[in-house]
Chains A and B, each alone.
Chain A
Amino acid sequence: MGRKLLLDKAHIPGIRYYDTYRGNGGYAAAEKALKGMTPDQVLDEVKKSGLRGRGGAGFPTGMKWSFIAKPEGVPRYLVCNADESEPGTFKDRYLMEFIPHILIEGLIISSYTLGANTCYIYIRGEYAWIPEILEEAIADAKKNGWLGKNIQGSGFDLEIYVQRGAGAYICGEETALIESLEGKRGNPRIKPPFPAVKGLWQSPTVVNNVETLAAVVPILNIGGEEYAKIGIGKSTGTKLISACGNINKPGVYEIEMNISVEEFIYSEEYCGGIPNGKRLKACIPGGSSVPILPANLLFKTAKGDTRMMTYESLSDGGFATGTMMGSGGFIVLDEDQCVVKNTLTFARFYRHESCGQCSPCREGTGWMEKVLKNIETGKGKMSDIDLLWDIQRKIEGNTICPLGDAAAWPVAAAIRHFRDEFEWHITHPEEAQVRNFGLAHYADPLPVAAVPA
Chain B
Amino acid sequence: MADEQKLFKVKIDNITVEVAPGTTILNAARLIGGDVVPPAMCYYSKLEGSGGKCRTCLVKVTKGSEADPRPMPKLVASCRTTVMDGMEVANITSPEVVDARKSIVEFLLINHPLDCPVCDQAGECHLQDLSYEHGVSATRYEFKRRTFDKVDLGDKIKLHMTRCILCYRCVFTADQLTEKREHGILGRGDHSEISTYIEKNLDNDFIGNVIDVCPVGALTDKTFRFKNRVWFLKPMDAHRNCENPKCCGKTVLWMRGDEVFRVTARKDQYGEVEAYICDTCRFEKKEASDWVIEGPRKIDRHSVISQGHYVGTVKPEETIVKVMDGRAPKLLMDIHSVSEVNRPEIDLSKIEGPAHSDDFKTNGVQHQQ
Contacts and interface: CB of A to CB of B under 8 A. Distances in A.
Interface string B76-100: 0100100000000000000000001
Interface stretch (A2-10, A268-276, A351-359): A351-359
A354 B107 contact: no
Contact of B189 (A185, A365, A394, A400): A365
B114 to A, nearest CB: 15
A185 B111 contact: no
Given A362-B189, A366-B189, A400-B53, A356 B166 contact: yes
A365 B190 contact: yes
Contact of B141 (A353, A362, A367): A367
Contacts of B165: 359
A190 B185 CA distance: 18
A352 to B, nearest CB: 6
B53 A354 contact: no
B178 interface: no
A142 B141 CA distance: 58
A170 to B, nearest CB: 8
Given A354-B189, A356-B188, A400 B110 contact: no
Contacts of B168: 357
Given A351-B189, A355-B188, A356-B185, A363 B75 contact: no
B140 interface: yes
Contacts of B141: 367
Contacts of A107: none
B58 interface: yes
Contacts of A355: 188-189
A170 B140 CA distance: 28
B107 A364 contact: yes
Q: Tell me if B's interface is mostly helix, strand, loop or mixed.
A: loop
A190 B52 contact: yes
- A interface bracket (residues with beta carbon within 8 Å of B): 20 to 34
Interface string A369-402: 0100000000000000001000000100111100
A395 B192 CA distance: 18
A297 B252 CA distance: 66
Contact of B75 (A185, A358, A361, A398): A398
Interface string A179-190: 000000100001
- B interface bracket (residues with beta carbon within 8 Å of A): 20 to 34
A360 interface: yes
A63 to B, nearest CB: 17
B354 interface: no
A363 B190 contact: yes
B140 A359 contact: no
Nearest to A190: B52
B204 to A, nearest CB: 21
A354 B166 CA distance: 14
A178 interface: no
A190 B107 contact: no
Interface string A307-351: 000000000000000000000000000000000000000000001
Interface in A155-206: 168, 170, 185, 190
24 contacts: A170-B188, A190-B77, A351-B189, A351-B190, A353-B188, A355-B188, A355-B189, A356-B166, A356-B188, A356-B189, A357-B166, A358-B52, A359-B53, A360-B103, A361-B189, A362-B166, A362-B190, A362-B192, A367-B110, A387-B140, A394-B100, A394-B103, A398-B58, A398-B100
Interface of A: 168, 170, 185, 190, 351-367, 370, 387, 394, 397-400
The 3 closest A-B pairs by CB, nearest first: A356-B192, A394-B103, A366-B190
